[in-house]
Structure 1
Amino acid sequence: MQDLGEMHYILGLEIDFYENHVFICQSRYAHSMLKKFHMENSKSIDTPMEQIVKDPNKGDERSFEDITLFRSLVGSLIWLTITRPDLSFCVHKLSQFMQDPKIHHWKMAKRLLRYVSSSCDYGLLYKSEDLSIIGYSDSDFASDKMDRKSISAYTIFLGGNLISWLSKKQDTISLSSCEAEYKALTTTTKEVLWIKGILMELKCIKEDDLPMIKCDNISAHALANNPIFHARSKHIEVAHHFVREKLIGGEIYLEHVNSSSCIADLLTKPLSKSAFIEHRSNLGVISRSMLKSS
């Protein structure tokens, strides 16, 4: 084997090493993607989606003729989300229409490219901090206009550094916002415990180091802490048993957080410009130029 020194570029990822932190982005990849789809000179915008979004299942119902082009664009955007969690929700929406994209879906994708054009040098910042695990869980109840399924999302931080995130439509329909939040909480709990298991095998943390999960839904928080199964929650009994088992067993710590402070909110719905920028910063997504000037 040959030692090639510090890694600086691999599979489109650019890695910059500083004294106390590491910055990872896909600036060159983003520029090449914009050039490929002829959007390198497009007018920049500050958010990937409009806050008041039209129903993505309605609009110009004419089919987009070049399905291969649309699929290629969405595939390229999926790869870009490796270092850009702020794109995850919008890319998740677009990926649902790969089979039969319409004209308005193509317009949504081009708007997203305009946002990418304005933020090509953005990426994830990793600092040397403690190894505490903190997860944020959130959902958007019945947000899909076609099948009324909810969106689950989580962001998981290790010592303040984002290491795992998800924006995904739930497999089944939730009958209440509490149920939707509880399903998202279950997904977050499984991911947090998986990360904790890996860190324990690597001898990075101890078994009694409790991961913290923050949820902004009071009902879901109360349901996880309530040992009594109410009739209205029988249909989510399996998930209830799982979360409560981990909570009672001392494997996780559950905390309520205000909706405005729930970072995972960025991955469930379009936000206002100010809220989007604040949550994007909280995720650790910053500009390379800002990092070099500081």
Structure 2
Amino acid sequence: MQDLEKIHYILGLEIDFLKDKAFICQSKYALSMLKKFNMLNCKSIETPMEQNVKDSNKGDERSFKDITLFRSLIGSLIWLTITRPDISFSVHKLSQAIQNPSIYHWKKAKRVLRYVSSTFDFGLLYKSEDLSIIGYSDSDFVGDRADRKSTSAYVIYLGGNLISWLSKKQDTVSLSSCEAEYKVLTTTTKEVLWIKRLLVELKIIMEENIHMIMCDNISAQALANNPIFHARSKHIEVAHHFVREKLIGGEIKLEHIDTSSCIADMLTKPLSKSSFNKHRANLGVIPRSMFKSI
């Protein structure tokens, strides 16, 4: 074995260190991807998706002939999401068309590349803080107009640093926004507890034993605290009451948060430029130049 000292580059990931901070990005990989798809000198754009555009089946429905090229692009973008959670929702939506992409999907994929071209040196900032786990969960009720399924999203921080995130369509159709939010609460709780157990195995001592999960849906929070089987909730599977079990056990704590402050919101739907930039900064996604000036 050879000791190569501090890591600086591996599998396309570039790691910089500055005192008690670290910065991880994929700027070289992003530039090579733009060059591969002839978008190196494209016109840049400030958001990866247009706001208020949810219908993935509208637009130019003609089939995109080079399916291999489209799949190659989506695969490249998926690898970029390792350090770029700000494009996770866009890539998640485009991935759903990987079997039969249309020209519309190809244009939307190129829009993501135009966004990447203006933010190729962005990455994740990590800094040394008190260890505590906090999660944000959110869902976009019937966000997919094609099959009426909702989108789940969560972001989880350890000591103020983003370590886990998800943007995924739910497996089944939710009959209410409460049910959609409750489902993602279950997923978020599982991830928080998995991270906690991993830290215990690594013998890392945390400041708090009760971990906070932020949710912007009052109904879902009330259901977790008092699961009365009224008309709106009796159809929810018993498995989802895993959340209440952990609440009673004192392992997690739910707290309401305003929708405009819920960071996971950017992983469920396209946002305005101002909201997108605010949440992106809260995720810890910053340009490399900003890291060096901290």
**How would you bin the TM-score normalised by the shorter chain?**
over 0.9
Structure 2 residue aligned with 1:236: 236
SS at match of 2:193: helix
Question: What displacement does 1:231 show?
Answer: 3.6
SS at match of 2:236: helix
Structure 2 residue aligned with 1:154: 154
SS at match of 1:113: helix
Structure 2 residue aligned with 1:199: 199
Preserved CA contact (<8 Å) 2:131 2:206? no
Preserved CA contact (<8 Å) 2:15 2:25? yes
- Superposition pairs of residues 46-61 of structure 1, within 5 angstroms: 46-53=46-53, 55-61=55-61
**Is the deviation greater in 223-232 or in 188-197?**
223-232
Change (3 A) 1:19 1:34: same
2: CA distance, partners of 1:65 / 1:103: 9
2: CA distance, partners of 1:79 / 1:206: 31
SS at match of 1:253: strand
Amino acid at match of 2:153: A
Question: What displacement does 1:54 show?
Answer: 5.5
Q: What are structure 2's unaligned runs of at least 5 residues? A: none
SS at match of 1:107: helix
Preserved CA contact (<8 Å) 1:181 1:217? yes
Structure 2 residue aligned with 1:86: 86
Structure 2 residue aligned with 1:27: 27
Preserved CA contact (<8 Å) 1:200 1:207? no
SS at match of 1:234: coil
Preserved CA contact (<8 Å) 1:224 1:240? no
Amino acid at match of 1:80: L
2: CA distance, partners of 1:208 / 1:31: 41
- Superposition pairs of residues 1-294 of structure 1, within 5 angstroms: 1-53=1-53, 55-205=55-205, 209-294=209-294
2: CA distance, partners of 1:240 / 1:10: 39
Preserved CA contact (<8 Å) 1:16 1:23? yes
Amino acid at match of 1:3: D
Question: What displacement does 1:229 show?
Answer: 2.6
2: CA distance, partners of 1:129 / 1:38: 41
SS at match of 2:254: strand
Question: What displacement does 1:291 show?
Answer: 1.8
SS at match of 1:56: coil
Amino acid at match of 1:95: S
2: CA distance, partners of 1:265 / 1:54: 15
2: CA distance, partners of 1:44 / 1:207: 43
2: CA distance, partners of 1:92 / 1:227: 32
Amino acid at match of 1:209: N
CA RMSD of aligned residues (A): 1.2
Q: Which runs of 4+ in 1 moved over 4 A?
A: none
2: CA distance, partners of 1:271 / 1:151: 15
2: CA distance, partners of 1:52 / 1:226: 35
Amino acid at match of 1:145: R
Amino acid at match of 1:212: M
1: CA distance, partners of 2:151 / 2:250: 28
Change (3 A) 1:54 1:260: closer
Change (3 A) 1:220 1:54: closer
SS at match of 1:22: strand
1: CA distance, partners of 2:162 / 2:105: 30
Question: What displacement does 1:227 show?
Answer: 4.3
2: CA distance, partners of 1:75 / 1:227: 41
What is the aligned residue count? Answer: 294
2: CA distance, partners of 1:32 / 1:11: 13
